[in-house]
Chain A
Amino acid sequence: MSEQFTISFEGSVKNFPCPESSRVLIAMEKQGLSYIPVGCRGGGCGTCRVIVTQGRYRTRKMSRVHVSEGQERAGYALACRLIPESDLLLRLAGDVPGV
Protein backbone atom coordinates (compact mmCIF):
# COMPACT_ATOMS: atom_id res chain seq x y z
CA MET A 1 0.00 0.00 0.00
CA SER A 2 1.57 3.24 -1.12
CA GLU A 3 1.62 6.28 1.11
CA GLN A 4 -1.16 8.84 0.62
CA PHE A 5 -0.76 12.57 1.06
CA THR A 6 -3.60 15.03 1.63
CA ILE A 7 -4.05 17.85 -0.86
CA SER A 8 -5.99 20.78 0.60
CA PHE A 9 -6.82 24.33 -0.41
CA GLU A 10 -6.29 27.65 1.36
CA GLY A 11 -9.46 29.02 2.91
CA SER A 12 -11.47 25.90 2.06
CA VAL A 13 -12.50 22.63 3.66
CA LYS A 14 -12.00 20.82 0.34
CA ASN A 15 -9.30 18.18 0.25
CA PHE A 16 -8.50 14.87 -1.37
CA PRO A 17 -5.90 12.12 -1.01
CA CYS A 18 -3.08 11.79 -3.55
CA PRO A 19 -0.95 8.64 -3.64
CA GLU A 20 2.81 9.22 -3.52
CA SER A 21 4.30 9.38 -7.03
CA SER A 22 0.89 10.36 -8.48
CA ARG A 23 0.32 13.68 -10.15
CA VAL A 24 -2.09 15.87 -8.15
CA LEU A 25 -4.46 16.72 -11.01
CA ILE A 26 -4.69 13.14 -12.24
CA ALA A 27 -5.38 11.84 -8.69
CA MET A 28 -8.10 14.49 -8.33
CA GLU A 29 -9.80 13.56 -11.61
CA LYS A 30 -9.74 9.84 -10.77
CA GLN A 31 -11.85 10.67 -7.71
CA GLY A 32 -14.38 12.54 -9.84
CA LEU A 33 -13.49 15.90 -8.30
CA SER A 34 -13.14 19.24 -10.06
CA TYR A 35 -11.48 21.46 -7.47
CA ILE A 36 -8.69 22.40 -9.89
CA PRO A 37 -9.57 23.36 -13.50
CA VAL A 38 -8.39 20.76 -16.03
CA GLY A 39 -6.72 21.62 -19.34
CA CYS A 40 -4.21 19.56 -21.29
CA ARG A 41 -2.93 17.45 -18.34
CA GLY A 42 0.57 17.66 -19.85
CA GLY A 43 2.20 20.79 -18.43
CA GLY A 44 1.51 22.83 -21.53
CA CYS A 45 -1.50 25.09 -21.16
CA GLY A 46 -1.44 26.63 -17.66
CA THR A 47 -5.08 25.93 -16.82
CA CYS A 48 -4.30 23.95 -13.66
CA ARG A 49 -1.68 26.33 -12.28
CA VAL A 50 -1.50 26.50 -8.48
CA ILE A 51 0.75 27.98 -5.82
CA VAL A 52 1.98 25.49 -3.28
CA THR A 53 1.96 27.43 0.00
CA GLN A 54 2.90 24.52 2.29
CA GLY A 55 4.51 21.13 1.75
CA ARG A 56 7.28 19.33 -0.10
CA TYR A 57 6.90 18.27 -3.73
CA ARG A 58 8.63 17.66 -7.03
CA THR A 59 7.46 18.41 -10.57
CA ARG A 60 7.89 17.05 -14.06
CA LYS A 61 8.97 19.62 -16.64
CA MET A 62 6.40 22.43 -17.07
CA SER A 63 5.95 25.01 -19.84
CA ARG A 64 8.10 28.07 -19.11
CA VAL A 65 5.33 30.15 -20.71
CA HIS A 66 3.15 29.35 -17.70
CA VAL A 67 5.69 28.83 -14.90
CA SER A 68 8.80 31.01 -15.14
CA GLU A 69 11.95 30.16 -13.20
CA GLY A 70 11.09 32.86 -10.66
CA GLN A 71 7.53 31.61 -10.29
CA GLU A 72 8.79 28.05 -9.88
CA ARG A 73 11.03 29.19 -7.00
CA ALA A 74 8.01 31.02 -5.50
CA GLY A 75 5.97 27.80 -5.41
CA TYR A 76 4.01 28.04 -8.67
CA ALA A 77 3.36 24.68 -10.31
CA LEU A 78 1.04 23.06 -12.81
CA ALA A 79 -1.03 20.52 -10.87
CA CYS A 80 -0.82 18.03 -13.76
CA ARG A 81 2.97 17.87 -13.27
CA LEU A 82 2.96 18.20 -9.47
CA ILE A 83 3.93 15.17 -7.37
CA PRO A 84 3.57 15.48 -3.57
CA GLU A 85 6.27 14.39 -1.13
CA SER A 86 4.20 15.49 1.88
CA ASP A 87 0.71 16.89 2.50
CA LEU A 88 0.25 20.00 0.34
CA LEU A 89 -1.67 23.25 0.79
CA LEU A 90 -2.60 24.86 -2.56
CA ARG A 91 -3.97 28.14 -3.87
CA LEU A 92 -5.49 28.21 -7.38
CA ALA A 93 -3.58 30.43 -9.83
CA GLY A 94 -4.88 29.34 -13.23
CA ASP A 95 -3.50 31.06 -16.28
CA VAL A 96 -6.35 30.43 -18.71
CA PRO A 97 -10.01 29.50 -18.34
CA GLY A 98 -10.49 25.77 -18.09
CA VAL A 99 -13.40 23.45 -17.50
Chain B
Amino acid sequence: MALTGVLRAGFVQIRVLEMDEALPHYEGRIGLNLVEKGKDGRVYLKGYDEFDRHSIILREADSPGVDLMAFKVAAESDLDGFEKRITEFGLAVDHVAAGEQPDVGRRIGFTLPTGHRIELYAEMARSENGPFTDNPDIWRDEPRGMRALGFDHCLMYGPNVAEVLRFFTEALDFSLVEKVQTPDGPIAVWLTSSTKSHEIAFVEHAEPGKFHHVSFLLESWNDVGHAADIISRYDISRDVGPTRHGITRGQTVYFFDPSGNRNEVFSGGYSYFPDHPTRVWTPDQLGKGIFYYEKELNDRFLGVVT
Protein backbone atom coordinates (compact mmCIF):
# COMPACT_ATOMS: atom_id res chain seq x y z
CA MET B 1 0.00 0.00 0.00
CA ALA B 2 1.52 3.28 -1.11
CA LEU B 3 -0.66 5.50 1.10
CA THR B 4 0.25 4.87 4.73
CA GLY B 5 -0.17 6.52 8.11
CA VAL B 6 -2.94 9.12 8.06
CA LEU B 7 -5.32 8.24 5.20
CA ARG B 8 -7.91 11.00 5.20
CA ALA B 9 -10.33 13.26 7.05
CA GLY B 10 -12.70 10.73 8.58
CA PHE B 11 -15.35 12.48 10.61
CA VAL B 12 -16.20 15.78 12.25
CA GLN B 13 -18.46 16.40 15.24
CA ILE B 14 -20.32 19.69 14.83
CA ARG B 15 -22.31 21.55 17.49
CA VAL B 16 -25.75 22.82 16.49
CA LEU B 17 -28.22 24.97 18.42
CA GLU B 18 -31.45 23.14 17.58
CA MET B 19 -31.39 19.61 16.17
CA ASP B 20 -34.91 20.04 14.77
CA GLU B 21 -33.51 22.71 12.43
CA ALA B 22 -30.12 21.11 11.79
CA LEU B 23 -31.11 17.61 10.75
CA PRO B 24 -33.47 18.61 7.90
CA HIS B 25 -30.66 20.86 6.61
CA TYR B 26 -27.91 18.23 6.58
CA GLU B 27 -30.17 15.33 5.59
CA GLY B 28 -32.70 16.97 3.29
CA ARG B 29 -30.79 19.85 1.72
CA ILE B 30 -27.15 18.72 1.64
CA GLY B 31 -28.35 15.17 1.04
CA LEU B 32 -26.52 13.19 3.70
CA ASN B 33 -28.04 9.90 4.83
CA LEU B 34 -29.18 9.53 8.44
CA VAL B 35 -27.30 6.64 10.09
CA GLU B 36 -28.46 6.76 13.69
CA LYS B 37 -29.89 9.01 16.38
CA GLY B 38 -27.74 8.08 19.38
CA LYS B 39 -29.06 7.61 22.91
CA ASP B 40 -27.10 10.68 24.06
CA GLY B 41 -28.78 12.84 21.42
CA ARG B 42 -25.92 12.89 18.92
CA VAL B 43 -27.03 12.31 15.33
CA TYR B 44 -24.82 10.37 12.90
CA LEU B 45 -24.86 10.97 9.14
CA LYS B 46 -22.88 10.00 6.04
CA GLY B 47 -22.62 10.83 2.36
CA TYR B 48 -24.08 8.26 -0.01
CA ASP B 49 -20.69 7.55 -1.61
CA GLU B 50 -18.80 6.87 1.64
CA PHE B 51 -17.94 3.30 2.66
CA ASP B 52 -17.57 3.91 6.39
CA ARG B 53 -20.52 4.04 8.77
CA HIS B 54 -20.61 7.77 9.47
CA SER B 55 -18.67 10.97 8.80
CA ILE B 56 -20.76 13.80 10.25
CA ILE B 57 -21.91 13.88 13.85
CA LEU B 58 -24.30 16.61 15.02
CA ARG B 59 -24.47 17.45 18.73
CA GLU B 60 -27.01 19.88 20.15
CA ALA B 61 -25.30 22.47 22.38
CA ASP B 62 -25.51 26.05 23.66
CA SER B 63 -23.10 27.37 21.03
CA PRO B 64 -22.37 26.19 17.49
CA GLY B 65 -18.88 25.29 16.28
CA VAL B 66 -16.70 22.20 16.06
CA ASP B 67 -16.09 19.68 18.86
CA LEU B 68 -13.43 17.70 17.06
CA MET B 69 -12.23 16.47 13.71
CA ALA B 70 -10.81 12.97 13.29
CA PHE B 71 -8.50 11.40 10.72
CA LYS B 72 -8.50 7.73 9.81
CA VAL B 73 -5.13 5.98 9.88
CA ALA B 74 -4.24 2.90 7.87
CA ALA B 75 -3.59 0.44 10.70
CA GLU B 76 -4.22 -0.06 14.40
CA SER B 77 -0.45 -0.02 15.02
CA ASP B 78 -0.27 3.46 13.53
CA LEU B 79 -2.11 4.81 16.58
CA ASP B 80 0.76 3.77 18.85
CA GLY B 81 3.37 5.16 16.47
CA PHE B 82 1.59 8.50 16.15
CA GLU B 83 1.01 8.71 19.90
CA LYS B 84 4.77 8.51 20.40
CA ARG B 85 5.51 11.11 17.71
CA ILE B 86 2.79 13.51 18.90
CA THR B 87 4.03 13.26 22.48
CA GLU B 88 7.62 13.82 21.35
CA PHE B 89 6.46 16.89 19.44
CA GLY B 90 5.15 18.22 22.74
CA LEU B 91 1.39 17.77 22.64
CA ALA B 92 -0.46 15.84 25.35
CA VAL B 93 -2.27 12.76 24.02
CA ASP B 94 -5.41 11.30 25.60
CA HIS B 95 -7.42 8.19 24.80
CA VAL B 96 -11.03 7.68 23.80
CA ALA B 97 -12.35 4.15 24.31
CA ALA B 98 -13.77 2.11 21.45
CA GLY B 99 -17.52 2.53 21.26
CA GLU B 100 -17.65 6.16 22.44
CA GLN B 101 -19.13 6.63 18.99
CA PRO B 102 -21.03 3.55 17.78
CA ASP B 103 -18.92 1.09 15.76
CA VAL B 104 -15.74 3.20 16.00
CA GLY B 105 -12.55 1.72 17.46
CA ARG B 106 -10.27 3.35 20.01
CA ARG B 107 -9.13 6.89 19.29
CA ILE B 108 -6.22 9.04 20.39
CA GLY B 109 -6.83 12.75 20.81
CA PHE B 110 -4.91 15.99 21.32
CA THR B 111 -5.41 19.75 21.19
CA LEU B 112 -3.56 21.75 18.56
CA PRO B 113 -1.87 25.10 19.28
CA THR B 114 -4.79 26.63 17.34
CA GLY B 115 -7.12 25.28 20.05
CA HIS B 116 -8.77 22.55 17.97
CA ARG B 117 -9.22 18.98 19.13
CA ILE B 118 -8.01 16.42 16.63
CA GLU B 119 -8.34 12.65 16.93
CA LEU B 120 -6.94 9.65 15.08
CA TYR B 121 -8.65 6.27 14.72
CA ALA B 122 -8.02 3.13 12.70
CA GLU B 123 -11.32 1.29 12.78
CA MET B 124 -14.87 2.16 11.84
CA ALA B 125 -17.52 -0.33 10.73
CA ARG B 126 -18.43 -0.40 7.07
CA SER B 127 -21.76 1.17 6.27
CA GLU B 128 -24.61 -1.22 5.51
CA ASN B 129 -25.74 1.42 3.03
CA GLY B 130 -22.43 2.30 1.37
CA PRO B 131 -21.50 2.21 -2.30
CA PHE B 132 -21.96 -1.08 -4.16
CA THR B 133 -18.82 -3.12 -4.77
CA ASP B 134 -19.96 -5.95 -7.07
CA ASN B 135 -20.56 -4.84 -10.64
CA PRO B 136 -21.40 -1.59 -8.92
CA ASP B 137 -24.18 0.73 -9.92
CA ILE B 138 -23.24 4.33 -9.27
CA TRP B 139 -25.61 4.63 -6.29
CA ARG B 140 -28.23 2.61 -4.37
CA ASP B 141 -30.92 5.30 -4.36
CA GLU B 142 -30.80 8.47 -6.43
CA PRO B 143 -28.99 11.20 -4.46
CA ARG B 144 -31.07 13.81 -2.65
CA GLY B 145 -30.76 17.56 -2.18
CA MET B 146 -27.32 18.88 -3.10
CA ARG B 147 -26.21 15.28 -3.78
CA ALA B 148 -23.14 15.46 -1.53
CA LEU B 149 -20.86 12.47 -2.09
CA GLY B 150 -19.37 12.79 1.38
CA PHE B 151 -17.39 14.77 3.95
CA ASP B 152 -14.25 16.24 2.42
CA HIS B 153 -12.37 18.69 4.67
CA CYS B 154 -12.60 21.47 7.28
CA LEU B 155 -11.09 24.95 7.58
CA MET B 156 -10.22 25.98 11.12
CA TYR B 157 -9.42 29.44 12.51
CA GLY B 158 -7.02 29.93 15.40
CA PRO B 159 -3.63 31.24 16.55
CA ASN B 160 -0.18 29.65 16.00
CA VAL B 161 -0.74 28.46 12.43
CA ALA B 162 3.02 28.24 11.82
CA GLU B 163 3.36 25.84 14.76
CA VAL B 164 0.40 23.77 13.59
CA LEU B 165 1.97 23.54 10.12
CA ARG B 166 5.16 22.21 11.72
CA PHE B 167 3.09 19.71 13.74
CA PHE B 168 1.15 18.31 10.80
CA THR B 169 4.21 17.97 8.59
CA GLU B 170 6.66 16.69 11.25
CA ALA B 171 4.41 14.53 13.48
CA LEU B 172 1.69 13.36 11.07
CA ASP B 173 3.58 13.37 7.70
CA PHE B 174 1.12 15.74 6.01
CA SER B 175 2.18 17.79 2.97
CA LEU B 176 1.83 21.55 2.65
CA VAL B 177 -0.10 21.99 -0.61
CA GLU B 178 -0.65 25.76 -0.60
CA LYS B 179 0.07 28.60 1.78
CA VAL B 180 -0.32 32.35 2.19
CA GLN B 181 3.07 33.66 3.18
CA THR B 182 3.90 36.97 4.89
CA PRO B 183 7.37 38.21 5.90
CA ASP B 184 6.46 37.07 9.43
CA GLY B 185 5.47 33.55 8.39
CA PRO B 186 2.49 31.65 6.99
CA ILE B 187 -0.98 33.00 7.86
CA ALA B 188 -2.97 30.31 6.05
CA VAL B 189 -2.08 26.70 5.14
CA TRP B 190 -3.78 23.92 3.15
CA LEU B 191 -2.58 20.48 4.25
CA THR B 192 -3.09 16.99 2.87
CA SER B 193 -2.30 13.39 3.80
CA SER B 194 -3.60 12.05 0.48
CA THR B 195 -3.92 13.09 -3.16
CA LYS B 196 -6.75 15.48 -2.28
CA SER B 197 -5.78 19.15 -2.46
CA HIS B 198 -6.57 19.47 1.24
CA GLU B 199 -7.80 17.37 4.14
CA ILE B 200 -7.65 20.29 6.59
CA ALA B 201 -6.76 23.97 6.38
CA PHE B 202 -5.96 26.66 8.93
CA VAL B 203 -6.15 30.45 8.92
CA GLU B 204 -4.40 32.59 11.55
CA HIS B 205 -6.97 34.13 13.90
CA ALA B 206 -6.63 35.58 17.40
CA GLU B 207 -9.37 33.52 19.02
CA PRO B 208 -8.58 29.79 19.39
CA GLY B 209 -10.72 26.84 18.38
CA LYS B 210 -12.94 28.59 15.84
CA PHE B 211 -14.70 26.81 12.97
CA HIS B 212 -14.76 28.38 9.50
CA HIS B 213 -16.42 25.61 7.50
CA VAL B 214 -17.07 21.96 6.84
CA SER B 215 -16.95 20.98 3.20
CA PHE B 216 -18.76 18.33 1.19
CA LEU B 217 -17.69 16.99 -2.19
CA LEU B 218 -19.98 17.20 -5.21
CA GLU B 219 -19.51 15.47 -8.54
CA SER B 220 -19.42 18.45 -10.88
CA TRP B 221 -19.67 22.19 -11.44
CA ASN B 222 -23.27 21.47 -12.55
CA ASP B 223 -23.96 20.10 -9.08
CA VAL B 224 -22.58 23.31 -7.54
CA GLY B 225 -25.19 25.19 -9.60
CA HIS B 226 -27.88 22.75 -8.47
CA ALA B 227 -26.80 23.36 -4.86
CA ALA B 228 -27.15 27.12 -5.43
CA ASP B 229 -30.67 26.51 -6.79
CA ILE B 230 -31.51 24.67 -3.57
CA ILE B 231 -30.03 27.51 -1.49
CA SER B 232 -32.33 30.02 -3.22
CA ARG B 233 -35.41 27.79 -3.32
CA TYR B 234 -35.31 27.04 0.41
CA ASP B 235 -33.98 30.41 1.64
CA ILE B 236 -30.79 28.86 3.01
CA SER B 237 -28.40 31.54 4.33
CA ARG B 238 -25.95 31.97 1.43
CA ASP B 239 -22.47 33.32 2.06
CA VAL B 240 -20.50 33.39 -1.21
CA GLY B 241 -20.70 31.92 -4.70
CA PRO B 242 -21.09 29.96 -6.83
CA THR B 243 -17.52 30.88 -7.70
CA ARG B 244 -14.07 29.32 -7.89
CA HIS B 245 -11.07 29.35 -5.62
CA GLY B 246 -7.62 30.21 -6.96
CA ILE B 247 -6.27 28.26 -4.00
CA THR B 248 -6.95 24.52 -4.67
CA ARG B 249 -9.00 25.57 -7.79
CA GLY B 250 -12.23 24.22 -6.30
CA GLN B 251 -15.58 25.29 -7.75
CA THR B 252 -17.65 26.23 -4.78
CA VAL B 253 -20.63 27.74 -3.02
CA TYR B 254 -20.69 28.67 0.68
CA PHE B 255 -23.72 28.88 2.94
CA PHE B 256 -24.63 28.54 6.60
CA ASP B 257 -26.47 25.79 8.45
CA PRO B 258 -29.44 26.89 10.61
CA SER B 259 -27.08 27.32 13.60
CA GLY B 260 -24.65 29.57 11.72
CA ASN B 261 -21.96 27.00 11.00
CA ARG B 262 -20.55 27.63 7.53
CA ASN B 263 -20.90 24.82 4.97
CA GLU B 264 -19.22 24.46 1.60
CA VAL B 265 -20.12 22.21 -1.28
CA PHE B 266 -17.52 22.05 -4.02
CA SER B 267 -16.25 20.14 -7.02
CA GLY B 268 -12.99 20.00 -8.93
CA GLY B 269 -9.57 21.04 -7.77
CA TYR B 270 -6.33 19.34 -8.64
CA SER B 271 -4.71 16.15 -7.40
CA TYR B 272 -1.67 16.46 -5.19
CA PHE B 273 1.32 14.13 -4.96
CA PRO B 274 4.07 14.35 -2.36
CA ASP B 275 6.70 15.32 -4.95
CA HIS B 276 4.74 18.44 -5.93
CA PRO B 277 5.98 21.86 -4.82
CA THR B 278 3.98 24.04 -2.43
CA ARG B 279 2.01 26.80 -4.18
CA VAL B 280 2.56 30.15 -2.47
CA TRP B 281 0.31 33.22 -2.33
CA THR B 282 1.24 36.69 -1.17
CA PRO B 283 -1.29 38.68 0.87
CA ASP B 284 -1.68 41.30 -1.90
CA GLN B 285 -3.00 38.57 -4.24
CA LEU B 286 -5.22 36.91 -1.66
CA GLY B 287 -8.44 38.20 -3.25
CA LYS B 288 -7.70 36.15 -6.38
CA GLY B 289 -6.58 33.23 -4.25
CA ILE B 290 -9.80 33.01 -2.30
CA PHE B 291 -12.29 34.09 -5.00
CA TYR B 292 -10.73 33.67 -8.41
CA TYR B 293 -13.48 35.44 -10.37
CA GLU B 294 -14.31 38.32 -8.02
CA LYS B 295 -10.63 38.89 -7.11
CA GLU B 296 -11.66 40.59 -3.93
CA LEU B 297 -12.14 39.47 -0.37
CA ASN B 298 -15.39 39.55 1.53
CA ASP B 299 -15.46 40.66 5.17
CA ARG B 300 -18.11 38.12 6.11
CA PHE B 301 -16.18 35.21 4.56
CA LEU B 302 -13.01 36.32 6.34
CA GLY B 303 -14.47 37.25 9.70
CA VAL B 304 -17.59 35.24 10.48
CA VAL B 305 -16.87 31.96 12.30
CA THR B 306 -18.49 29.78 14.96
Contact of A40 among B18, B256, B298 (CB under 8 A): B256
User: Is A43 in contact with chain B by the CB < 8 A criterion?
Assistant: yes
Q: Which residues of A contact B260 (CB under 8 A)?
A: 39-45, 63, 80
With A64-B63, A98-B299 as given contacts, are A45 and B304 in contact (CB-CB < 8 Å)? yes
A31-60 contact mask (Cβ, 8 Å, vs B): 1 or 0: 000000011111111010000000000001
CB-based contact B306/A41 at 8 Å: no
Q: Which residues of B contact A39 (CB under 8 A)?
A: 260, 300, 304
Q: Which residues of B contact A1 (CB under 8 A)?
A: none
CA distance A65 to B64 in the complex (A): 9
CB-based contact B259/A43 at 8 Å: yes
Q: Which residues of B contact A43 (CB under 8 A)?
A: 17, 64, 259-260
CB distance from B233 to the nearest CB of A (A): 16
Report the tally of A-B residue pairs with Cβ distances under 8 A: 74
Interface size on A, residues (CB 8 A): 21
CB distance from A14 to the nearest CB of B (A): 21
Contact of B306 among A38, A45, A61, A97 (CB under 8 A): A45
A53-77 contact mask (Cβ, 8 Å, vs B): 1 or 0: 0000000111111100000000000
CA distance A40 to B62 in the complex (A): 16
User: Is A99 in contact with chain B by the CB < 8 A criterion?
Assistant: yes
With A60-B18, A61-B17 as given contacts, are A42 and B299 in contact (CB-CB < 8 Å)? no
With A61-B17, A63-B63, A64-B62 as given contacts, are A44 and B306 in contact (CB-CB < 8 Å)? yes
Q: Which residues of A contact B64 (CB under 8 A)?
A: 42-44, 63
With A40-B256, A42-B64 as given contacts, are A47 and B17 in contact (CB-CB < 8 Å)? no
User: Is B169 in contact with chain A by the CB < 8 A criterion?
Assistant: no
CA distance A44 to B300 in the complex (A): 13
CB-based contact A99/B299 at 8 Å: yes
CB-based contact A47/B304 at 8 Å: yes
Q: Which residues of A from 75 to 99 have beta carbons under 8 Å from B?
A: 80, 96-99
CB distance from B306 to the nearest CB of A (A): 4
Contact of A62 among B17, B65, B300 (CB under 8 A): B17
Contact of A42 among B17, B298, B300, B305 (CB under 8 A): B17
Q: Which residues of A contact B305 (CB under 8 A)?
A: 45
CB-based contact A65/B63 at 8 Å: yes
CB distance from A26 to the nearest CB of B (A): 8
CB-based contact B63/A40 at 8 Å: no
What 8 pairs across the A-B complex have the smallest Cβ distances? A44-B260, A42-B260, A40-B260, A41-B237, A64-B62, A44-B64, A63-B63, A44-B306
Which residues on B are within 8 Å of A, measured CB to CB? 17-18, 62-65, 237, 239, 256-262, 298-300, 303-306
Which residues on A are within 8 Å of B, measured CB to CB? 38-45, 47, 60-66, 80, 96-99
Q: A40-B304, A64-B62 are in contact. List 9 more A-B contacts (CB 8 A).
A: A38-B300, A42-B237, A42-B258, A43-B64, A44-B259, A60-B18, A64-B63, A96-B303, A99-B300
20 A-B pairs with CB atoms under 8 Å apart are A39-B260, A40-B239, A42-B257, A42-B260, A43-B17, A43-B260, A44-B256, A44-B259, A45-B260, A45-B306, A47-B303, A47-B304, A61-B17, A61-B62, A63-B63, A65-B65, A66-B63, A98-B299, A99-B298, A99-B300
